[in-house]
Structure 1
Amino acid sequence: MNLSRPILLASNSPRRKELLAGLGLQFEVHVKEVNEDFPEHLQREQVAEFLASHKADAYTSDLQNEVLITADTIVCLGDRILNKPADALEAFEMLRALSGKHHEVITGVCILTKNSKTIFHDVTRVYFKKLSDEEINYYIEHYHPFDKAGAYGIQEWIGKIGIEKIEGSYFNVVGLPVQKLYTYLKDLQVITL
């Protein structure tokens, strides 16, 4: 894979780093603390895109020839957005709410250069089986999903035993819609084979 310019990933997520590396891309990680509040009137897809764009804005004055990638993943149960749980009780309540239902995982992505900004999102529908309280407690106790929107990681134990099916990109649920990202990077002539 050939790069026309350096790529920066503005994320500490080990999952995003792994997914981006899985595309065969060389990149550096640069992270800044950014407030993740968003306007209440935004629709779900707009929230994910707003947060990805907002994160990118923190780097605008830093960029020269680099391409910056930011992302934000939200979990939506109906119109309710499930953020990262504050503690085990909130994680339990989130997983119980998701149990036996389907929900959407939306990842917003922003590709920023000195002269352009490209924002897009991907949506995946996830179906959970009915989870027992024991399964939920076991997962929380052993996997501590406090850094994950919706209180779960699809690639972890709960995903293996609890998710019946998904509609859309698996990698989007992990945290980065790599197929769409690859297409955008090719279209922007950041990467060539």
Structure 2
Amino acid sequence: MNWFPKYNFILASKSPRRQHLLKSLEIDFQVIVKEVKEDFPADLPKEEIPVYLALLKAQPFRNQLKPDDLLITADTIVWHRGKVLGKPSGENEAKKMLSELSGSEHEVISGVCLTSVDKQKTFYSVSNVQFKKLSNDEIDYYISSFKPFDKAGAYGIQEWIGCIGIKHIEGSFYNIMGLPVQKLYEEILQF
């Protein structure tokens, strides 16, 4: 059964995790990505950062959408001790990030933007994640085996590090993976 209005869905994301999660909603979609520089104003509140970035990713499509298109853009940040942990530039930065997250709690915030020819809607989802105290060997093994350089905060909860390191989560597991699919489902139905 198709629960959604008749849209031509476009996902503007290279993320294999977002693509997998959108498929899990049984949505037929195409992937089209336009590169944008992911900068944001330094004074934005933490919840507005991924929403701002999702809006930024939608901008290049604004004059190219057809009447039946529904564009989905998203961004996810890790917020820890008052700052954003983005994607690590390499092994050293990944190790630094995971060492900071070790034994503490952080927030994962995803912002999503739905865009059609005549309207645009944004929303966000917040999940809290608590890591156990990770050993240096665990961090080194994860980085060398899983190369988490395309992931905010240098980790994927669905990978080995999530299995052995996550003590507690509050909120959407899928949000931590990069797309709050339950909230997205509701927002599409109301769009």
Query: C-alpha distance in 1, partners of 2:60/2:82?
Result: 28
For residues 73-127 of structure 1, the C-alpha deviation after alignment (integer angstroms, 9 at most, x for no partner) is 0001021100000010000000000000000000000000011010000000000
Partner residue, 1:61: 63
14, 22, 40: which is aligned to 1:20? 22
Structure 1 residue 4: Cα displacement: 1.4
- Unpaired segments ≥5 residues, structure 1: 189-193
Query: C-alpha distance in 1, partners of 2:90/2:29?
Result: 33
74, 82, 88: which is aligned to 2:91? 88
Are 1:4 and 2:6 counterparts? Answer: yes
Query: C-alpha distance in 1, partners of 2:43/2:101?
Result: 24
Amino acid at match of 2:48: Q
Structure 1 residue 3: Cα displacement: 3.8
94, 109, 113: which is aligned to 1:110? 113
Give secondary structure in 1 for the equivalent of 2:76.
strand
Are 1:152 and 2:164 counterparts? Answer: no
Amino acid at match of 1:10: A
Are 1:167 and 2:170 counterparts? Answer: yes
Query: C-alpha distance in 2, partners of 1:33/1:39?
Result: 19
Query: C-alpha distance in 1, partners of 2:63/2:185?
Result: 25
Query: C-alpha distance in 2, partners of 1:100/1:78?
Result: 13
Partner residue, 2:76: 73
Amino acid at match of 1:187: Q
Q: Is the 8 A contact 2:5 2:189 kept in 1?
A: no
Query: C-alpha distance in 2, partners of 1:48/1:102?
Result: 19
Amino acid at match of 1:25: I
- Unpaired segments ≥5 residues, structure 2: none
Amino acid at match of 1:111: L
Partner residue, 1:122: 125
Are 1:185 and 2:166 counterparts? Answer: no
Amino acid at match of 1:119: T
Structure 1 residue 64: Cα displacement: 1.1
134, 159, 168: which is aligned to 1:131? 134
Partner residue, 1:191: none
TM-score (norm 2): 0.97
Query: C-alpha distance in 2, partners of 1:26/1:135?
Result: 38
Query: C-alpha distance in 2, partners of 1:128/1:62?
Result: 43
Amino acid at match of 1:126: V
Query: C-alpha distance in 2, partners of 1:102/1:9?
Result: 30
Moved over 6 A (4+): none
Partner residue, 1:40: 42
Structure 1 residue 61: Cα displacement: 0.8
Aligned residue pairs: how many? 188
Percent same amino acid among aligned pairs? 51
